[in-house]
Structure 1
């Protein structure tokens, strides 16, 4: 049994996505950072029990939510079952990005678990983006026991992708960035400038 499956065996919601204000606020920040109102095709990597996916589904024509934990996938599938345009799959991102392309990829609280595979995974994500595609990364900034990478190291790796950074939100606890092929701001994209 994997680390994540063991974690989900002990806890229904291991990170408190449904109960912690920190997680609720981080989810709101993530959604507010999205440059587009709606996306044709979205990929959420590390969807856990599907709480963020549930909110992303409101802004997506198609959403694929993946997680490496079978237990998490089962819980997310139950949560998202009423949404016909959402698929939930058991998938290890280190074995490749699911078939795209995607207008939006969300990588939240996952990058530091990828270790040496992170640069290759990030390149594969970049290559799966549409020409208008965006990558949103959100990561905890404090050390995580047993892991070499932290949120700042993940963001540094994302900076090497040759994508334009459209937004950055940084706090003591969390760093959120939005990267895209298109360097235009929301105001420019929508004709305000």
Structure 2
């Protein structure tokens, strides 16, 4: 894979493992996630019929998964939410192939931009100004529920569909949340967008500070 291809794929983090091992495992030797709003907190791969808050015990963050979405942890550490309770997700398969999805990954900033990393340096190196089809990539910084997030909209490499991603920067990590496919003009996908924005708005961190 050439450098240009990597620059497009790194934006979504979940399409392929970035060079230098930038994607950290969310699961390690066992599940990193548990459901917060039950007692005792069970570890399980899927959500219930109602909204459920999941916490990642390795990277200390929480998100609320809207009803109707099911939670899957892939063996390489990528967390994927789909609308199917049972969803085969081969490790070496591009996730676009499974259809409607929300992807959660965590990356080490230093692996990409070195020890003196910053959100701006990471964005400059990893988020291209144009996508694989030479179309502009839309980028904006937003404040959502007390979190400073980078919003990115672009065409997904290898498809005609778009994706929407939000990136949070805490300490030395980049937290990525990606919705695919994304189209504000397609009525059938608007519910997915609403669910995704609800989930991103629920994002909270336990004892972590913003990366300056």
TM-score tier by shorter-chain length is 0.3 to 0.5
TM-score normalised according to structure 2 size: 0.32
Q: Which has the higher contact order (CA 8 A, sep 6+)?
A: 2
Higher helix share: 1
Structure 1 length normalisation: TM-score? 0.34
